[in-house]
Amino acid sequence: MHSSVEEKAVKCIRCGFCLDACPTFRLTGNEADSPRGRIYLMRSVAENVIPLDQDVMKHIDACLGCRACETACPSGVQYASILEEFRTEIEERGQRPGLQRFARRQLLNTLTNPRLFSATLKAAQVLGGSNGHQRYMPSFAAEMLTGSASAPVTLPAVPEKVSVGTLPEINPAIGEKRATVAMLAGCVMRVLYHDTNEATVRVLQQNGCEVLVPRSAGCCGALHVHNGYLEDARQRARTLLDALESVEMDAFIVNSAGCGSTLKEYGDLLADDSLYAERARRFAAKVRDISEYLMELGLRPPKGSLNLRVAYHDACHLAHGQKITAPPRKMLQSIPGLELVDLPESDTCCGSAGIYNLTQPTMAKKLQQRKIDFILETGAAVIATGNPGCLAWIHQGLKERGSAITVRHPIELLDEAYRA
């Protein structure tokens, strides 16, 4: 076992402050489903005290990777980093049954290849079993992925018509030019939320930014980092850095929380790569979430008003991964007429968590339902959130409950206010 799991795990003083923050512990009450319990398990495996068996894997697989425990931890334990290395060990040791291993890898490769993802979604819309608004993954695929035939896998809500969106490579600033930025179009974002990407470009232009979207810049590797494929992720990071090498920019803008969190940690991801470590560190220092960047730059307030009651859900990789909670709220509050209302447990995971809603359907559904209950209490017409997984999963939960509440990325609301 990689010694850095041990090194990082010893920082845990077992105080238990993280337990209440952990969504899976709150659901099961089982210490092995808590951050402290998982750290203890991972450390025990690393020190060869216990074997890496199916029981250990069950509790590690059940972790959302939401990083709420990092926010709660007084000892500065880098939980996500321990988890990512441990998950990589699981995949590299080939502990998983062959079919499940194959299905997980195929899923990640599909999600991060826009053309393949788009084609797969079209096929899934035909093949996936449907019960009213609810669509299910075909049972053979669900069984391969989860290793169990028991729980149906609900598919997140996606647009009826999917395609691969492409943004112009150069988008000039509107008014006095204040900065040149580059932007990540992403993989899932290009297929499911191209409108959000377009809105992001327009808002940046409105704020005096020239926006570059290099076509050669592809997947950032976030899903691979989070699911135990660190080497794969490193290769994707190197390819992205190469694609951006000659791009002069003041900042690199991201509108997907999961991607932003990984991009900001490229310095750590490539720390042992003598050729890329320094470049990765320099690049990571330029990465900004769209809300964070607009607040730093000084947002040009929109003049159009939106008379809407909006509740904001904190995506885990924004609130806990990047510690960004105020900027998206300030962005929304800058819109005349918009009323921002509190969402209870707004920074608790909705259960989407990358591919978690597909690999751990039972737990994901419980978390989704809890989130929807809180959303319905707010009386909001719109729920705003800055991550594709949350957008699709919360949308699915609301549809299933027959709710007319819409789910939007905050940047789309700001864009609408500029255009109103």
Only one residue has tokens 């003598």, namely: 274
Q: Where are the beta strands (DSSP E) in 75-202?
A: 129-131, 134-136, 170-171, 179-183
For ligand SF4, give the closer residue by CB, 83 or 203.
Answer: 83
Contact status: 32 vs ligand SF4 (CB under 6 A): no
Mapping DSSP to helix (H, G, I), strand (E, B) and coil, where does residue 115 land? helix
Pairing type for strands 251-254 and 179-183 reads: parallel
Question: Among residue numbers 45 through 84, which ones bind ligand SF4 (CB under 6 A)?
Answer: 63-69, 72-73, 75, 77, 79
For ligand SF4, give the closer residue by CB, 83 or 297.
Answer: 83
Pairing type for strands 382-384 and 406-408 reads: parallel
* CA 262 – CA 222 distance, rounded (Å): 5
Contact status: 13 vs ligand SF4 (CB under 6 A): yes
Contact status: 258 vs ligand SF4 (CB under 6 A): no
* CA 81 – CA 83 distance, rounded (Å): 5
For ligand SF4, give the closer residue by CB, 44 or 239.
Answer: 44
Contact status: 321 vs ligand SF4 (CB under 6 A): no
For ligand SF4, give the closer residue by CB, 73 or 259.
Answer: 73
For helices 257-264 and 388-400, the axis angle rounded to 10 degrees is 160
For ligand SF4, give the closer residue by CB, 25 or 418.
Answer: 25
> Identity (one letter) of the amino acid at 83?
L
Only segment of 12-20, 126-134, 145-153, 392-400 that touches ligand SF4 (CB under 6 A): 12-20
Cα distances (Å, whole numbers) of residue 33 to 157, 217, 357, 376: 28, 37, 17, 28
Q: Where are the beta strands (DSSP E) in 34-138?
A: 129-131, 134-136
Contact status: 322 vs ligand SF4 (CB under 6 A): no
Contact status: 23 vs ligand SF4 (CB under 6 A): yes
Contact status: 22 vs ligand SF4 (CB under 6 A): yes
Tokens of 49: 């005290």
Pick the binder of ligand SF4 from 5, 8, 18, 225 (CB under 6 A): 18
Only segment of 8-16, 49-57, 111-119, 290-298 that touches ligand SF4 (CB under 6 A): 8-16
Pairing type for strands 251-254 and 134-136 reads: unpaired
For ligand SF4, give the closer residue by CB, 66 or 157.
Answer: 66
For ligand SF4, give the closer residue by CB, 24 or 207.
Answer: 24
* CA 202 – CA 209 distance, rounded (Å): 9
Cβ neighbors of 58 (< 8 A, separation 6 or more) are none
Please, what is the minimum distance in Å from the beta carbon of residue 321 to ligand SF4?
10
Q: How many helices (H) and strands (E) does the chain have?
A: 23, 11
Tokens of 413: 């609301």
For ligand SF4, give the closer residue by CB, 349 or 411.
Answer: 349
Q: What is the DSSP letter of 311?
A: E
Please, what is the minimum distance in Å from the beta carbon of residue 367 to ligand SF4?
10
Question: Among residue numbers 351 through 380, which ones bind ligand SF4 (CB under 6 A)?
Answer: none
For ligand SF4, give the closer residue by CB, 214 or 321.
Answer: 321
Please, what is the minimum distance in Å from the beta carbon of residue 38 to ligand SF4?
5
Pick the binder of ligand SF4 from 4, 7, 10, 14 (CB under 6 A): 14
* Chain residues that interact with ligand SF4, rule: CB under 6 A: 12-18, 21-24, 35-36, 38-39, 63-69, 72-73, 75, 77, 79
